[in-house]
């Protein structure tokens, strides 16, 4: 045990205990079996009341909307996250800030895309994830090029260093927005990975594995989504995060790939990714590649809780709650639309 781990509990032990307690409230398989039997969203609300969610929908009038459930799920996560963030010391404070940056990136992209389609900013702001909100968000609609976006909006945010590679005089169109999203994520993941490496110990062990998977997943998805678009192979290669297990050899192979089969051949060189691609498909009854990635992520996050005296549990908790939110919203959508055939297509956690 390293010197820093000996003193871990002095600074962070209470919050680690707290987040492990939060984890105990994550829905079990029996909860999901109850939820999929619901006939209406009010039934769903009733079942959730008997879990750790309690009365989080108590003030919502009937008939309930799926969007309301989604908003309230996010709100509950944000309250828990902010409680942890308000009571922590460094370097945990910076670590938790890093977790919020990915939500900031998604919010920025959502706002730029919305304004590109002439949607009013007042309608877009409520759609943003509350974990990634920042003061300058409402000014995004004034920008028409990446350079303007940086100078008017992002220069004073934590994302400013990540945006440097995106600045050009090109107009903000669909293609450039996707390039900006992936360039920001690449810089963010590499920076977060480096930060966790520097923390060392068990935090580096659990987080470097989690972030390496996130980087590799993005590389696979960027490649698959680029087929049939104007994105050149050289530009595609620039978007790959260089901190995963695919770096450097796998990324070079992905950069040359022309179709899905060639991407799968790259995955075959890596035991855990080979398994994910093998069982994925788009036919009825088959799990999609995205589902397989989510399942793998859930397993990684559960493994993180097996290790003590490390920050990975905070990241893992947020990721598991994110998956739980997706599950509940999926089931709620199936109930609301009376489309029960695929109601079991959620990703179980425990």
Determine the pLDDT at residue 95. Answer: 98
What does the pLDDT look like over 31-75, one tens digit per residue?
Answer: 999 999 999 999 999 999 999 999 999 999 888 999 999 999 999
b/e sequence 60-80, b meaning 16+ C-beta within 10 Å: beeebebebbbebbbebbbeb
The answer to whether residue 265 scores a pLDDT higher than 80 is yes
What does the pLDDT look like over 136-175, one tens digit per residue?
Answer: 898 888 888 899 999 988 999 999 999 988 888 788 888 8
Question: Which of 115-129, 177-191, 192-206 shows the lowest per-residue confidence on average (mean pLDDT)?
Answer: 115-129
Provide the β-strand partners of residue 287.
280
pTM above 0.85, yes or no: yes
Determine the pLDDT at residue 3. Answer: 46
CATH of domain 1-90+311-350: 1.10.132.50
Closest CA to 245 of 280, 218, 209, 220: 209
The answer to whether residue 2 scores a pLDDT higher than 60 is no
Contact 241, 250 (CB under 8 A): no
Rounded CA-CA distance 215/74 in Å is: 24
The answer to whether residue 1 scores a pLDDT higher than 70 is no
Rounded CA-CA distance 260/197 in Å is: 33
| pLDDT mean over 114-128 | 91
More confident residue, 282 or 137: 137
Backbone φ and ψ for 280, nearest 5 degrees, come out as -95, 145
- Give the domain 92-199 fold: V-type ATP synthase subunit C fold (1.20.1690)
3-state secondary structure at position 295: helix
**Across all residues in the chain, what is the average pLDDT?**
94
């Amino acid at each position: 045990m390293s010197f820093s781990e000996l003193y871990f509990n002095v600074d962070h032990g209470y919050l680690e205990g707290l987040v492990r307690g939060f984890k105990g409230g994550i829905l079990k398989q029996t909860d999901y079996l109850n939820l999929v039997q619901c006939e209406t969203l009010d039934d769903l609300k009733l079942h959730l009341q008997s879990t750790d969610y309690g009365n989080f929908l108590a003030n919502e009038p009937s008939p309930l909307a799926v969007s309301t459930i989604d908003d309230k799920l996010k709100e509950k996560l944000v309250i828990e996250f902010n409680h942890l963030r308000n009571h922590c010391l460094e370097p945990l404070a910076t670590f938790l800030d890093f977790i919020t940056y990915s939500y900031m990136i998604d919010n920025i992209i959502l706002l730029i895309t919305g304004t590109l389609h002439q949607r009013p900013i007042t309608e877009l702001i409520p759609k943003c994830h509350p974990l990634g909100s920042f003061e300058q968000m409402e000014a995004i609609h004034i920008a028409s090029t990446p350079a303007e976006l940086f100078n008017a909006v992002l220069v004073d945010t934590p994302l400013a260093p990540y945006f440097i590679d995106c600045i050009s005089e090109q107009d903000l169109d669909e293609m450039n927005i996707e390039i900006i999203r992936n360039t920001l994520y690449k810089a963010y993941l590499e920076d977060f990975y480096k930060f966790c490496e520097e923390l060392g110990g068990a935090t580096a062990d659990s987080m470097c594995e989690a972030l390496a998977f996130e980087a590799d997943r993005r590389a696979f998805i960027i490649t698959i989504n680029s087929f049939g678009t104007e994105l050149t192979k050289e530009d595609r290669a620039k978007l790959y995060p260089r901190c995963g297990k695919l770096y450097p050899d796998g990324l070079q192979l992905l950069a040359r790939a022309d179709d899905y089969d060639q991407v799968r051949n790259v995955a075959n060189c890596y035991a855990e990714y080979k398994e994910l691609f093998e069982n994925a498909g788009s036919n009825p009854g088959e799990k999609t590649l995205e589902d397989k990635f989510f399942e793998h992520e859930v397993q990684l996050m559960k493994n993180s809780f097996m290790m003590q005296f490390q920050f990975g549990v905070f990241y893992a908790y947020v990721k598991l709650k994110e998956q739980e939110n997706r599950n509940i919203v999926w089931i709620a959508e199936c109930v609301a639309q009376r489309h029960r055939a695929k109601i079991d297509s959620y990703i179980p956690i425990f």
